[in-house]
Structure 1
Amino acid sequence: MKVRAKKHLGQHFLRDLRSAERIVDSLTGHRQYGQVLEIGPGMGVLTQYLLEKPDFTTYVIEIDTESVAYLQTHYPALAPRIIEADFLRWPVAEVLESPFAIIGNFPYNISSQIFFRVLELRAQVPEVVCMLQKEVARRIASPPGSKEYGILSVLLQAYYDIDYLFTVPPGAFDPPPKVQSGIIRLRRNGTSQLACEEPLFFRVVKTAFNQRRKTLRNALKPLGEVPEHALLDKRAEQLGVADFVILTNLIASARPVLD
Protein backbone atom coordinates (compact mmCIF):
# COMPACT_ATOMS: atom_id res chain seq x y z
CA MET A 1 0.00 0.00 0.00
CA LYS A 2 1.30 3.41 -0.99
CA VAL A 3 -0.28 6.80 -0.52
CA ARG A 4 -0.89 8.80 -3.68
CA ALA A 5 0.55 12.32 -3.46
CA LYS A 6 -2.22 14.89 -3.82
CA LYS A 7 -1.39 18.16 -5.54
CA HIS A 8 -4.13 20.14 -3.79
CA LEU A 9 -2.56 19.23 -0.43
CA GLY A 10 0.93 20.15 -1.61
CA GLN A 11 2.19 16.65 -0.87
CA HIS A 12 5.76 15.67 -1.75
CA PHE A 13 6.78 12.61 0.24
CA LEU A 14 10.37 12.54 1.48
CA ARG A 15 11.96 9.21 0.60
CA ASP A 16 15.58 9.92 1.55
CA LEU A 17 15.94 8.13 4.88
CA ARG A 18 19.26 9.79 5.71
CA SER A 19 17.68 13.25 5.43
CA ALA A 20 14.68 12.08 7.47
CA GLU A 21 16.91 10.89 10.30
CA ARG A 22 18.89 14.15 10.23
CA ILE A 23 15.68 16.16 10.52
CA VAL A 24 14.51 14.20 13.56
CA ASP A 25 17.96 14.39 15.16
CA SER A 26 17.78 18.19 14.80
CA LEU A 27 15.32 18.30 17.70
CA THR A 28 17.63 19.27 20.54
CA GLY A 29 15.49 20.69 23.34
CA HIS A 30 14.13 17.40 24.70
CA ARG A 31 14.43 18.55 28.31
CA GLN A 32 12.02 21.38 27.58
CA TYR A 33 9.14 19.16 26.47
CA GLY A 34 7.73 15.66 26.74
CA GLN A 35 5.66 15.67 23.57
CA VAL A 36 6.31 16.24 19.88
CA LEU A 37 3.65 16.95 17.26
CA GLU A 38 4.44 16.02 13.67
CA ILE A 39 2.46 17.96 11.08
CA GLY A 40 1.62 16.12 7.86
CA PRO A 41 3.39 12.78 8.43
CA GLY A 42 2.25 11.28 5.13
CA MET A 43 3.63 7.74 5.06
CA GLY A 44 5.66 8.21 8.23
CA VAL A 45 9.21 8.71 6.97
CA LEU A 46 9.94 11.08 9.88
CA THR A 47 7.53 9.30 12.20
CA GLN A 48 9.53 6.08 12.23
CA TYR A 49 12.55 7.90 13.66
CA LEU A 50 10.47 9.96 16.09
CA LEU A 51 9.02 6.77 17.55
CA GLU A 52 12.55 5.54 18.30
CA LYS A 53 13.19 8.49 20.63
CA PRO A 54 12.56 7.67 24.30
CA ASP A 55 12.67 11.29 25.47
CA PHE A 56 9.22 12.27 24.24
CA THR A 57 5.83 10.99 23.13
CA THR A 58 5.00 11.48 19.45
CA TYR A 59 1.67 12.68 18.13
CA VAL A 60 0.90 13.21 14.45
CA ILE A 61 -1.73 15.36 12.77
CA GLU A 62 -2.78 14.60 9.22
CA ILE A 63 -5.62 15.94 7.09
CA ASP A 64 -5.32 13.32 4.32
CA THR A 65 -7.63 10.36 4.99
CA GLU A 66 -5.51 8.01 2.87
CA SER A 67 -2.37 8.87 4.85
CA VAL A 68 -4.22 8.36 8.13
CA ALA A 69 -5.26 4.87 7.02
CA TYR A 70 -1.67 4.09 6.00
CA LEU A 71 -0.30 5.21 9.37
CA GLN A 72 -2.90 3.26 11.31
CA THR A 73 -1.95 0.10 9.37
CA HIS A 74 1.84 0.49 9.50
CA TYR A 75 2.17 2.08 12.95
CA PRO A 76 -0.59 0.46 15.03
CA ALA A 77 0.98 1.49 18.34
CA LEU A 78 0.72 5.11 17.21
CA ALA A 79 -2.99 4.83 16.32
CA PRO A 80 -4.35 6.49 19.53
CA ARG A 81 -2.11 9.49 18.83
CA ILE A 82 -2.98 9.92 15.14
CA ILE A 83 -5.12 13.03 14.84
CA GLU A 84 -7.13 13.39 11.63
CA ALA A 85 -7.57 17.15 11.50
CA ASP A 86 -6.36 20.43 10.02
CA PHE A 87 -3.55 21.82 12.18
CA LEU A 88 -4.58 25.37 11.29
CA ARG A 89 -7.98 24.88 12.95
CA TRP A 90 -7.36 22.11 15.47
CA PRO A 91 -7.80 23.00 19.20
CA VAL A 92 -4.32 21.97 20.34
CA ALA A 93 -4.84 22.57 24.05
CA GLU A 94 -7.61 19.97 24.20
CA VAL A 95 -5.16 17.15 23.37
CA LEU A 96 -1.57 18.21 24.03
CA GLU A 97 -0.13 19.38 27.29
CA SER A 98 2.33 22.24 27.21
CA PRO A 99 5.09 22.44 26.30
CA PHE A 100 5.48 20.48 23.06
CA ALA A 101 7.72 20.67 20.00
CA ILE A 102 6.58 20.75 16.36
CA ILE A 103 8.25 18.94 13.48
CA GLY A 104 7.28 18.23 9.91
CA ASN A 105 7.64 18.50 6.18
CA PHE A 106 5.36 21.51 5.81
CA PRO A 107 3.25 21.70 2.62
CA TYR A 108 4.69 24.57 0.58
CA ASN A 109 1.29 26.08 -0.11
CA ILE A 110 0.40 26.64 3.58
CA SER A 111 3.79 26.97 5.27
CA SER A 112 3.25 30.66 6.08
CA GLN A 113 -0.12 29.91 7.65
CA ILE A 114 1.48 27.19 9.77
CA PHE A 115 4.05 29.67 11.08
CA PHE A 116 1.37 32.20 12.00
CA ARG A 117 -0.32 29.39 13.94
CA VAL A 118 3.01 28.62 15.64
CA LEU A 119 3.21 32.28 16.65
CA GLU A 120 -0.22 31.97 18.27
CA LEU A 121 1.09 28.95 20.19
CA ARG A 122 4.52 30.40 20.98
CA ALA A 123 4.03 30.15 24.75
CA GLN A 124 3.50 26.39 24.36
CA VAL A 125 6.04 25.59 21.62
CA PRO A 126 9.72 25.86 22.61
CA GLU A 127 11.12 24.26 19.45
CA VAL A 128 10.20 23.74 15.80
CA VAL A 129 12.14 21.75 13.20
CA CYS A 130 10.66 21.82 9.74
CA MET A 131 11.27 21.44 6.04
CA LEU A 132 9.84 23.89 3.54
CA GLN A 133 10.70 25.57 0.27
CA LYS A 134 14.34 26.67 0.44
CA GLU A 135 13.59 30.29 -0.46
CA VAL A 136 11.03 30.55 2.35
CA ALA A 137 13.39 28.87 4.81
CA ARG A 138 16.17 31.30 3.89
CA ARG A 139 13.79 34.23 4.22
CA ILE A 140 12.71 33.24 7.72
CA ALA A 141 16.32 32.81 8.88
CA SER A 142 17.59 35.99 7.14
CA PRO A 143 18.98 38.89 9.19
CA PRO A 144 17.94 42.53 8.68
CA GLY A 145 19.36 44.16 5.56
CA SER A 146 18.72 41.22 3.26
CA LYS A 147 16.26 41.36 0.39
CA GLU A 148 14.93 38.01 1.65
CA TYR A 149 14.09 39.51 5.05
CA GLY A 150 10.34 39.99 5.47
CA ILE A 151 7.26 39.82 7.68
CA LEU A 152 7.77 36.26 8.91
CA SER A 153 11.47 36.94 9.50
CA VAL A 154 10.68 39.73 11.97
CA LEU A 155 7.70 38.11 13.68
CA LEU A 156 9.37 34.74 14.19
CA GLN A 157 12.75 36.21 15.17
CA ALA A 158 10.98 38.27 17.83
CA TYR A 159 10.31 35.05 19.76
CA TYR A 160 12.64 32.42 18.31
CA ASP A 161 16.32 31.96 17.52
CA ILE A 162 16.41 30.54 14.00
CA ASP A 163 19.04 28.39 12.30
CA TYR A 164 19.13 27.27 8.68
CA LEU A 165 20.37 23.69 8.97
CA PHE A 166 20.72 22.07 5.55
CA THR A 167 19.27 21.74 2.05
CA VAL A 168 17.44 18.76 0.56
CA PRO A 169 17.40 18.34 -3.27
CA PRO A 170 14.23 17.64 -5.30
CA GLY A 171 15.34 14.07 -6.01
CA ALA A 172 14.87 13.17 -2.34
CA PHE A 173 11.08 13.35 -2.78
CA ASP A 174 8.30 11.47 -4.52
CA PRO A 175 7.13 13.23 -6.61
CA PRO A 176 10.11 15.60 -6.89
CA PRO A 177 9.16 19.26 -6.34
CA LYS A 178 10.40 21.89 -8.77
CA VAL A 179 12.42 23.61 -6.06
CA GLN A 180 14.96 22.74 -3.39
CA SER A 181 13.87 22.35 0.22
CA GLY A 182 15.46 23.80 3.33
CA ILE A 183 15.47 22.63 6.95
CA ILE A 184 15.29 25.25 9.69
CA ARG A 185 15.14 25.04 13.47
CA LEU A 186 13.35 27.55 15.69
CA ARG A 187 14.14 27.66 19.42
CA ARG A 188 12.34 29.99 21.80
CA ASN A 189 14.48 32.88 22.93
CA GLY A 190 14.21 34.64 26.26
CA THR A 191 11.42 36.97 25.16
CA SER A 192 8.17 36.03 26.85
CA GLN A 193 6.59 39.35 25.92
CA LEU A 194 7.76 42.26 23.80
CA ALA A 195 8.18 45.68 25.36
CA CYS A 196 5.25 47.03 23.37
CA GLU A 197 1.65 46.25 22.46
CA GLU A 198 2.11 42.93 20.68
CA PRO A 199 -1.00 43.04 18.45
CA LEU A 200 0.05 46.51 17.30
CA PHE A 201 3.63 45.24 16.74
CA PHE A 202 2.25 42.59 14.37
CA ARG A 203 0.25 45.23 12.53
CA VAL A 204 3.21 47.61 12.24
CA VAL A 205 5.47 44.90 10.81
CA LYS A 206 2.88 43.79 8.25
CA THR A 207 2.10 47.37 7.22
CA ALA A 208 5.80 48.25 6.89
CA PHE A 209 6.52 45.36 4.53
CA ASN A 210 3.37 45.80 2.46
CA GLN A 211 5.21 48.64 0.72
CA ARG A 212 8.77 47.57 1.39
CA ARG A 213 10.29 49.78 -1.32
CA LYS A 214 9.06 52.91 0.42
CA THR A 215 10.64 54.52 3.44
CA LEU A 216 8.80 53.80 6.66
CA ARG A 217 7.67 57.42 6.78
CA ASN A 218 5.43 56.65 3.81
CA ALA A 219 4.84 52.93 4.30
CA LEU A 220 3.35 53.45 7.77
CA LYS A 221 0.90 56.20 6.77
CA PRO A 222 -2.07 53.80 6.91
CA LEU A 223 -1.49 53.59 10.69
CA GLY A 224 -1.92 57.32 11.19
CA GLU A 225 0.47 59.82 12.71
CA VAL A 226 3.95 58.59 13.60
CA PRO A 227 6.10 60.93 15.74
CA GLU A 228 9.34 61.95 14.06
CA HIS A 229 12.21 59.46 14.45
CA ALA A 230 15.36 58.62 12.47
CA LEU A 231 14.02 55.10 11.78
CA LEU A 232 11.36 56.59 9.51
CA ASP A 233 14.00 57.35 6.88
CA LYS A 234 14.79 53.64 6.56
CA ARG A 235 12.99 50.81 4.79
CA ALA A 236 11.37 47.89 6.55
CA GLU A 237 14.07 45.39 5.54
CA GLN A 238 16.70 47.47 7.37
CA LEU A 239 15.05 47.17 10.80
CA GLY A 240 15.54 44.50 13.43
CA VAL A 241 13.00 43.41 16.02
CA ALA A 242 14.12 46.04 18.55
CA ASP A 243 13.63 48.78 15.94
CA PHE A 244 10.09 47.64 15.24
CA VAL A 245 9.39 47.68 18.96
CA ILE A 246 10.50 51.34 19.03
CA LEU A 247 8.22 52.17 16.08
CA THR A 248 5.31 50.36 17.70
CA ASN A 249 5.70 52.40 20.88
CA LEU A 250 5.93 55.63 18.86
CA ILE A 251 2.69 54.84 17.06
CA ALA A 252 1.01 53.78 20.30
CA SER A 253 2.00 57.07 21.95
CA ALA A 254 0.43 59.07 19.13
CA ARG A 255 -2.64 56.89 18.72
CA PRO A 256 -3.21 54.81 21.84
CA VAL A 257 -6.28 53.07 20.46
CA LEU A 258 -6.42 51.76 16.89
CA ASP A 259 -9.71 50.83 15.28
Structure 2
Amino acid sequence: MGYKAKKSFGQHFLTDLNIANDIVEGLHYVPGLNVVEVGPGQGVLTEMLREKDIHLKLIEADRDMVSVLLTKYPTMSDDIIHFDFLKADLSRIFDGQQLSVIGNFPYNISSQIIFRVIKYYEVVPELVGMFQLEVAERIVSKPGSKKYGVISVLAQAIYDGELLFKVPPEVFDPPPKVNSGVIRLSRRENITFDYDRSLFKHIVKTAFSQRRKMLRNTLKSMVEKAEFKDDEILMKRPEQLSVDDYIYLTKNLGTTAE
Protein backbone atom coordinates (compact mmCIF):
# COMPACT_ATOMS: atom_id res chain seq x y z
CA MET A 1 0.00 0.00 0.00
CA GLY A 2 3.06 2.22 -0.29
CA TYR A 3 3.25 2.86 3.44
CA LYS A 4 6.67 3.94 4.70
CA ALA A 5 7.96 2.19 7.81
CA LYS A 6 8.48 4.36 10.88
CA LYS A 7 11.71 4.07 12.85
CA SER A 8 9.92 5.27 15.98
CA PHE A 9 7.81 2.09 15.94
CA GLY A 10 10.71 -0.17 14.96
CA GLN A 11 8.84 -1.19 11.81
CA HIS A 12 10.31 -3.63 9.29
CA PHE A 13 7.61 -5.09 7.08
CA LEU A 14 7.97 -8.78 6.23
CA THR A 15 7.67 -9.36 2.48
CA ASP A 16 8.34 -13.10 2.20
CA LEU A 17 5.01 -14.94 2.35
CA ASN A 18 6.68 -18.33 2.91
CA ILE A 19 8.35 -17.06 6.07
CA ALA A 20 5.11 -15.42 7.16
CA ASN A 21 3.38 -18.78 6.75
CA ASP A 22 6.12 -20.52 8.75
CA ILE A 23 5.61 -18.05 11.62
CA VAL A 24 1.85 -18.57 11.59
CA GLU A 25 2.29 -22.35 11.54
CA GLY A 26 4.51 -22.10 14.62
CA LEU A 27 1.48 -21.88 16.90
CA HIS A 28 -0.30 -25.01 18.05
CA TYR A 29 -3.87 -24.61 16.87
CA VAL A 30 -7.09 -26.01 18.27
CA PRO A 31 -10.56 -24.93 17.09
CA GLY A 32 -11.60 -21.68 18.70
CA LEU A 33 -8.10 -20.76 19.94
CA ASN A 34 -7.80 -17.15 21.13
CA VAL A 35 -4.91 -15.39 19.40
CA VAL A 36 -3.49 -11.91 19.82
CA GLU A 37 -1.26 -10.60 17.05
CA VAL A 38 1.09 -7.85 18.23
CA GLY A 39 2.13 -5.17 15.76
CA PRO A 40 0.35 -6.57 12.69
CA GLY A 41 1.49 -3.68 10.49
CA GLN A 42 0.02 -4.12 7.03
CA GLY A 43 -1.42 -7.53 7.87
CA VAL A 44 0.96 -10.06 6.33
CA LEU A 45 0.52 -12.51 9.20
CA THR A 46 -3.05 -11.39 9.76
CA GLU A 47 -4.08 -12.55 6.28
CA MET A 48 -2.96 -16.09 7.08
CA LEU A 49 -4.25 -16.10 10.64
CA ARG A 50 -7.72 -15.18 9.36
CA GLU A 51 -7.80 -18.51 7.51
CA LYS A 52 -7.55 -20.41 10.82
CA ASP A 53 -10.48 -21.47 12.98
CA ILE A 54 -9.52 -19.04 15.74
CA HIS A 55 -10.69 -15.93 17.57
CA LEU A 56 -8.24 -13.24 16.45
CA LYS A 57 -7.55 -9.79 17.88
CA LEU A 58 -4.89 -7.33 16.69
CA ILE A 59 -3.03 -4.85 18.87
CA GLU A 60 -1.34 -2.05 16.94
CA ALA A 61 0.26 1.07 18.44
CA ASP A 62 0.63 3.00 15.15
CA ARG A 63 -2.57 4.89 14.36
CA ASP A 64 -1.75 4.96 10.63
CA MET A 65 -1.39 1.18 10.59
CA VAL A 66 -4.71 0.84 12.38
CA SER A 67 -6.30 2.81 9.53
CA VAL A 68 -4.67 0.48 7.00
CA LEU A 69 -5.95 -2.58 8.84
CA LEU A 70 -9.48 -1.19 9.21
CA THR A 71 -9.59 -0.49 5.47
CA LYS A 72 -8.25 -3.94 4.65
CA TYR A 73 -10.38 -5.84 7.16
CA PRO A 74 -13.57 -3.83 7.79
CA THR A 75 -15.31 -6.81 9.41
CA MET A 76 -12.62 -6.84 12.13
CA SER A 77 -13.38 -3.34 13.40
CA ASP A 78 -14.18 -4.66 16.89
CA ASP A 79 -11.04 -6.79 16.98
CA ILE A 80 -8.45 -4.21 15.91
CA ILE A 81 -7.19 -2.51 19.04
CA HIS A 82 -5.25 0.75 18.83
CA PHE A 83 -3.11 0.40 21.95
CA ASP A 84 0.40 -0.09 23.29
CA PHE A 85 0.86 -3.81 23.95
CA LEU A 86 3.30 -3.00 26.75
CA LYS A 87 0.45 -1.39 28.66
CA ALA A 88 -2.20 -3.97 27.80
CA ASP A 89 -3.90 -6.02 30.49
CA LEU A 90 -3.80 -9.41 28.76
CA SER A 91 -6.20 -10.90 31.28
CA ARG A 92 -8.97 -8.66 29.92
CA ILE A 93 -8.56 -9.04 26.16
CA PHE A 94 -10.55 -12.27 26.01
CA ASP A 95 -12.31 -11.82 29.36
CA GLY A 96 -9.79 -13.85 31.31
CA GLN A 97 -9.62 -16.71 28.82
CA GLN A 98 -6.37 -18.28 27.62
CA LEU A 99 -4.74 -16.65 24.60
CA SER A 100 -1.70 -17.21 22.41
CA VAL A 101 0.54 -14.34 21.31
CA ILE A 102 2.09 -14.06 17.87
CA GLY A 103 3.87 -11.35 15.93
CA ASN A 104 6.69 -9.96 13.89
CA PHE A 105 7.66 -7.94 16.94
CA PRO A 106 9.18 -4.44 16.79
CA TYR A 107 12.85 -4.98 17.68
CA ASN A 108 13.05 -1.88 19.86
CA ILE A 109 10.60 -3.35 22.40
CA SER A 110 11.03 -7.09 21.88
CA SER A 111 12.51 -7.83 25.31
CA GLN A 112 9.75 -5.81 26.95
CA ILE A 113 7.18 -7.89 25.09
CA ILE A 114 8.64 -11.02 26.67
CA PHE A 115 8.46 -9.49 30.15
CA ARG A 116 4.84 -8.46 29.50
CA VAL A 117 3.95 -12.01 28.55
CA ILE A 118 5.75 -13.35 31.63
CA LYS A 119 3.68 -11.02 33.80
CA TYR A 120 0.50 -12.51 32.38
CA TYR A 121 1.76 -16.09 32.07
CA GLU A 122 -1.45 -17.42 33.63
CA VAL A 123 -3.42 -16.51 30.49
CA VAL A 124 -0.64 -16.95 27.89
CA PRO A 125 0.25 -20.61 27.28
CA GLU A 126 2.19 -19.96 24.09
CA LEU A 127 4.07 -17.28 22.16
CA VAL A 128 5.51 -17.41 18.65
CA GLY A 129 7.37 -14.40 17.39
CA MET A 130 10.11 -12.82 15.35
CA PHE A 131 12.93 -11.11 17.21
CA GLN A 132 16.37 -9.76 16.46
CA LEU A 133 18.41 -12.97 16.31
CA GLU A 134 20.64 -11.98 19.20
CA VAL A 135 17.61 -11.41 21.43
CA ALA A 136 15.91 -14.61 20.25
CA GLU A 137 19.00 -16.64 21.09
CA ARG A 138 19.30 -15.01 24.52
CA ILE A 139 15.72 -15.87 25.41
CA VAL A 140 16.11 -19.60 24.63
CA SER A 141 19.81 -20.12 25.47
CA LYS A 142 20.80 -22.68 28.08
CA PRO A 143 23.23 -22.52 31.04
CA GLY A 144 26.87 -22.42 30.04
CA SER A 145 26.30 -20.15 27.06
CA LYS A 146 27.61 -16.59 26.91
CA LYS A 147 24.16 -15.61 25.64
CA TYR A 148 22.48 -17.02 28.74
CA GLY A 149 21.37 -14.18 30.98
CA VAL A 150 18.58 -12.49 32.91
CA ILE A 151 15.92 -12.82 30.22
CA SER A 152 16.85 -16.48 29.68
CA VAL A 153 16.31 -17.38 33.33
CA LEU A 154 13.16 -15.33 33.86
CA ALA A 155 11.52 -16.63 30.68
CA GLN A 156 12.53 -20.25 31.21
CA ALA A 157 11.25 -20.27 34.78
CA ILE A 158 7.81 -20.34 33.15
CA TYR A 159 8.25 -21.30 29.49
CA ASP A 160 10.12 -23.90 27.48
CA GLY A 161 11.75 -22.08 24.59
CA GLU A 162 13.05 -23.08 21.19
CA LEU A 163 14.49 -21.28 18.20
CA LEU A 164 12.34 -22.36 15.25
CA PHE A 165 14.34 -20.79 12.41
CA LYS A 166 16.53 -17.86 11.40
CA VAL A 167 15.52 -15.09 9.01
CA PRO A 168 17.82 -12.96 6.80
CA PRO A 169 17.47 -9.15 6.51
CA GLU A 170 16.55 -9.09 2.84
CA VAL A 171 13.02 -10.43 3.39
CA PHE A 172 12.00 -7.17 5.07
CA ASP A 173 11.18 -3.69 3.81
CA PRO A 174 13.20 -1.85 4.89
CA PRO A 175 15.78 -4.55 5.69
CA PRO A 176 17.11 -4.37 9.27
CA LYS A 177 20.85 -4.30 9.86
CA VAL A 178 20.69 -7.59 11.77
CA ASN A 179 19.54 -11.16 11.28
CA SER A 180 16.29 -12.26 12.87
CA GLY A 181 15.01 -15.39 14.54
CA VAL A 182 11.61 -16.88 15.27
CA ILE A 183 11.08 -18.55 18.63
CA ARG A 184 8.30 -20.44 20.34
CA LEU A 185 7.67 -20.28 24.08
CA SER A 186 5.43 -22.97 25.55
CA ARG A 187 4.25 -22.63 29.13
CA ARG A 188 5.61 -25.34 31.38
CA GLU A 189 3.13 -27.72 32.96
CA ASN A 190 2.34 -27.76 36.67
CA ILE A 191 4.10 -24.49 37.50
CA THR A 192 4.24 -23.92 41.24
CA PHE A 193 5.72 -20.86 42.88
CA ASP A 194 6.81 -22.13 46.27
CA TYR A 195 9.38 -19.34 46.38
CA ASP A 196 9.39 -15.55 46.41
CA ARG A 197 9.20 -14.45 42.76
CA SER A 198 10.29 -10.91 43.59
CA LEU A 199 13.39 -12.20 45.35
CA PHE A 200 14.03 -14.65 42.52
CA LYS A 201 14.09 -11.80 40.00
CA HIS A 202 16.28 -9.72 42.31
CA ILE A 203 18.82 -12.53 42.72
CA VAL A 204 18.98 -13.24 38.98
CA LYS A 205 19.49 -9.58 38.09
CA THR A 206 22.08 -9.10 40.83
CA ALA A 207 24.01 -12.21 39.78
CA PHE A 208 24.20 -11.21 36.11
CA SER A 209 25.09 -7.61 36.91
CA GLN A 210 28.63 -8.93 37.36
CA ARG A 211 28.58 -12.08 35.31
CA ARG A 212 32.33 -12.70 35.50
CA LYS A 213 32.31 -12.88 39.28
CA MET A 214 31.52 -15.88 41.44
CA LEU A 215 28.22 -15.76 43.26
CA ARG A 216 29.91 -15.72 46.65
CA ASN A 217 31.11 -12.20 45.76
CA THR A 218 28.10 -10.90 43.87
CA LEU A 219 25.57 -12.10 46.44
CA LYS A 220 27.87 -11.67 49.44
CA SER A 221 25.57 -9.51 51.59
CA MET A 222 22.57 -11.78 51.04
CA VAL A 223 24.62 -14.92 51.68
CA GLU A 224 25.99 -13.55 54.94
CA LYS A 225 22.58 -12.36 56.12
CA ALA A 226 21.01 -15.76 55.44
CA GLU A 227 24.05 -17.62 56.79
CA PHE A 228 23.99 -19.68 53.61
CA LYS A 229 26.74 -22.33 53.55
CA ASP A 230 26.51 -24.07 50.15
CA ASP A 231 30.06 -23.35 48.95
CA GLU A 232 29.69 -25.45 45.80
CA ILE A 233 27.01 -23.30 44.19
CA LEU A 234 28.58 -20.07 45.41
CA MET A 235 31.81 -20.92 43.59
CA LYS A 236 29.95 -20.77 40.26
CA ARG A 237 29.41 -17.85 37.91
CA PRO A 238 25.86 -16.79 36.99
CA GLU A 239 25.78 -18.38 33.54
CA GLN A 240 26.58 -21.77 35.08
CA LEU A 241 23.34 -21.93 37.09
CA SER A 242 20.13 -23.47 35.82
CA VAL A 243 16.68 -22.07 36.56
CA ASP A 244 16.32 -24.67 39.30
CA ASP A 245 19.62 -23.49 40.81
CA TYR A 246 18.30 -19.95 41.02
CA ILE A 247 15.11 -21.21 42.63
CA TYR A 248 17.24 -23.11 45.13
CA LEU A 249 19.16 -19.92 45.94
CA THR A 250 15.91 -17.98 46.32
CA LYS A 251 14.57 -20.48 48.82
CA ASN A 252 17.75 -20.30 50.88
CA LEU A 253 18.52 -16.59 50.81
CA GLY A 254 15.38 -15.26 52.45
CA THR A 255 11.81 -14.31 51.62
CA THR A 256 12.03 -10.68 50.54
CA ALA A 257 14.35 -8.72 48.27
CA GLU A 258 16.63 -6.18 49.86
Normalised by the length of structure 2, the TM-score is 0.94
Distance 2:180 2:25 in 1: 17
Distance 1:194 1:231 in 2: 21
In structure 1, stretches of 5+ residues that fail to align are none
Does residue 235 (structure 1) correspond to residue 237 (structure 2)? The answer is yes
Does residue 68 (structure 1) correspond to residue 70 (structure 2)? The answer is no
SS in 2 for 1:73: helix
Aligned partner of 2:66: which letter?
A: V
Q: Which residue number corresponds to residue 11 of structure 2?
A: 11
Q: Is the 8 A contact 1:39 1:105 kept in 2?
A: yes
Please report how far the alpha carbon of residue 223 of structure 1 lies from its aligned counterpart in structure 2 after TM superposition: 4.1
Distance 2:22 2:33 in 1: 20
Per-residue CA deviation, residues 23-68 of structure 1 (Å, 9 max, x unaligned), is 001101536x7210000000000000000001x1110000001100
Structure 1 11/214 Cα, relative in aligned 2: closer, same or farther at 3 Å? same
1:110-189 correspondence runs (5 A) = 110-189=109-188
SS in 2 for 1:52: coil
- Give the alignment's Cα RMSD to 1 decimal: 1.5
Please report how far the alpha carbon of residue 192 of structure 1 lies from its aligned counterpart in structure 2 after TM superposition: 2.2
Q: Is the 8 A contact 2:138 2:152 kept in 1?
A: yes
Distance 2:175 2:221 in 1: 42
Distance 2:4 2:51 in 1: 26
Per-residue CA deviation, residues 226-253 of structure 1 (Å, 9 max, x unaligned), is 512111100110000110011101111x
Aligned partner of 2:132: which letter?
A: Q
Moved more, 37-46 or 190-199: 190-199
Please report how far the alpha carbon of residue 82 of structure 1 lies from its aligned counterpart in structure 2 after TM superposition: 0.2
Per-residue CA deviation, residues 67-113 of structure 1 (Å, 9 max, x unaligned), is 00000001112221000000111233333232000000111111111
SS in 2 for 1:162: strand
Q: Is the 8 A contact 1:195 1:245 kept in 2?
A: no
The list of structure 1 runs, each at least 4 consecutive aligned residues, that deviate by more than 3 angstroms after superposition, is 221-224, 256-259
Q: Is the 8 A contact 1:194 1:245 kept in 2?
A: no
1:81 maps to which of 79, 83, 91: 79
Structure 1 185/223 Cα, relative in aligned 2: closer, same or farther at 3 Å? same
Aligned partner of 2:41: which letter?
A: G
Structure 1 128/104 Cα, relative in aligned 2: closer, same or farther at 3 Å? same
Q: Is the 8 A contact 1:164 1:182 kept in 2?
A: yes
Aligned partner of 1:8: which letter?
A: S
Aligned partner of 1:228: which letter?
A: K
Aligned partner of 2:65: which letter?
A: S
SS in 2 for 1:42: coil
Please report how far the alpha carbon of residue 137 of structure 1 lies from its aligned counterpart in structure 2 after TM superposition: 0.6
Aligned partner of 1:106: which letter?
A: F
Please report how far the alpha carbon of residue 224 of structure 1 lies from its aligned counterpart in structure 2 after TM superposition: 5.9
Please report how far the alpha carbon of residue 193 of structure 1 lies from its aligned counterpart in structure 2 after TM superposition: 2.3
Distance 2:47 2:119 in 1: 28
Q: Which residue number corresponds to residue 193 of structure 2?
A: 194
Normalised by the length of structure 1, the TM-score is 0.94
Paired residues, what number?
Answer: 254
Distance 2:172 2:68 in 1: 18
Please report how far the alpha carbon of residue 209 of structure 1 lies from its aligned counterpart in structure 2 after TM superposition: 0.7
In structure 2, stretches of 5+ residues that fail to align are none
Q: Is the 8 A contact 1:129 1:185 kept in 2?
A: yes
